[in-house]
Amino acid sequence: MAPTLSPAPSHGVAAGTVLTGRHLVTARDAEAFRALCAVASAVPLTGAVPGTVAPAQLAAVALRMCERLLETGPSPGGLVAVHGTQRLRVERAAAVGEPLVSRAEVRSVRPLGAGTATEVAVTLAADDGSAVAESVSLLVHSPGPVAGPAPAVTRPAATPLVPQASPPTARQAVPPAAASVVPPVVPPVARQAVPPAAASVVPPVVPSVARQAIPPAAASVVPPAAPEGARCSSYTVTRELVRRYAELSGDHNPIHLSPEAARAGGFDDLIAHGMLTFALVAHHLAGAVGEAAGTELQLRFSRPLTVPAEGATLTVRDLPAAGGALAVTAVDGAGLPVAGGRAAPCAHRQERGRDRD
C-alpha cells in the first residue's frame, strides 16, 4: 500500500515561521556539560578551549529553540518527533557567560508518509550581531505507537559523576591542531530515524513505529576491527549519564528515562538522546583535532543507542576524507551503526552565499 501523504504540516507550523530568544550559558552549566562527556570517556580531554562553551552545548541550546518554535503550533495529536539529521557550524567560540541572541526559522515542511519532515535552522549571534554558530535540524513527525499516556517517570536524586580512570589502551593521543569540531544542551527529541546525510534533504520513508531490530545475540557479538588509520574513542553510556543529560538539556522525554515508556514506544529498552550521541562525537573530535572556530559537524542518526541496566558502549571513529574533512562514525557495542557523518572546515561565507543563489 502506498503511503498516505499529509496535506498539511502535522505540527501546524508553516515554513517561514520565526522565533527569537536570548541565552546565557553559565560557568556552572558549561562545566557540568563538559564533565558529562568526560565521565563517559576513559581519556581526559585535552583539546577543549578554556573559558568557552562546548560546541555541542551550543547545538543543544539551538535544538531547544527549534522545539520551542514547533511548540507554537497546535498539538501534534500523538505524533512522534524523530531526529533525522543534525548539523552544527561554529563561526567562533562562545565565551562562558556571553549573552547570545537566537533566531529559529522553519526552512521547509515536506510531506513524508503519514507525517512531515521539517527542517529548522537556528542562528546564534552576539549582541553586536556577529555570528557565533548555526544549527540545522531535520525532524520527522509521524504517528506514534503509544495508545495511552506514557508511564510516569521518577527522577532520582542527582549523584556526583566521577570521571573514569584512564586505561593504558584508550584513545590515541593526537596533538590538538588549530581547529576542532562542533556540538550543546538538548531538548526533547524523541527517536532518531534514518534520514539522508544532508540536513536539507528529506529522509526516505521509514515506519514511524518500527522497532530497530537488533540480533538476539547482539551483546555477545564482537564488533569489527576499526579501519586502519582510524582514531577511536570508547564511551560508556549509563542510565545515570542519560538522566544527567536530560537534566542539563531539559529533554525529559520518558523514552530516555523509563524502560517501560521506551517499550511502549516500540523500543527494546531505554534509549539515549540522539544529541547525547552528537555530544560524544564532538567530544571525540575535540580530543583528536582540538576546538576552534570555522568548523562544521554533520551527523545522520541511523538507530537509537539502547541503554540497558548494565549500560552501553559507544565507539566513535574518524578517518581522513576528501577536502580536508573527517569521516565520522559511531557504533554500539555490537558494532551496529548509531550515527555517521563528517566534520570539516566551514566553507567561506561568500561561497555559501553563491551556493544558495
State whether residue 328 is helix, strand or coil: strand
Q: How far apart are CA 120 and CA 27, in angstroms?
A: 28
Q: Are 104 and 122 in contact (CB under 8 A)?
A: yes
Q: What is the mean pLDDT of residues 294-304?
A: 92
Q: What pLDDT is recorded for position 197?
A: 39
pLDDT in tens, 50-70: 899 999 999 999 999 998 998
Q: What is the mean pLDDT of residues 247-267?
A: 88
Q: What pLDDT is recorded for position 342?
A: 96
12 φψ region: left (φ > 0), alpha (ψ -120 to 50), beta (else) = left
pLDDT averaged over every residue in the chain: 76
Strands of 163-292 (E only): list them. 191-192, 231-237
In sign, the C-alpha dihedral spanning 26, 67, 261, 269 is: negative
Which cell numbers hold the place of 259? 524502560
pLDDT in tens, 155-174: 444 444 444 443 443 444 43
Which cell numbers hold the place of 11? 505540527
Q: How far apart are CA 342 and CA 344, in angstroms?
A: 7
pTM: 0.74
pLDDT in tens, 122-145: 999 999 999 999 999 998 887 755
Q: How far apart are CA 202 and CA 195, in angstroms?
A: 7
Q: What pLDDT is recorded for position 198?
A: 37
Percent of residues, the chain, with pLDDT higher than 70 = 67
Q: What is the mean pLDDT of residues 287-292?
A: 81
Range of lowest pLDDT (20-24, 55-59, 115-119):
115-119
List, in sequence order, every residue forming a beta bridge with 217; answer none if it has no partner: none
Which cell numbers hold the place of 181? 569540531
151 burial (CB, 10 Å; 0-12 / 13-18 / 19+) is middle
Half-sphere exposure of 329 (CA within 13 A, CB side): 14
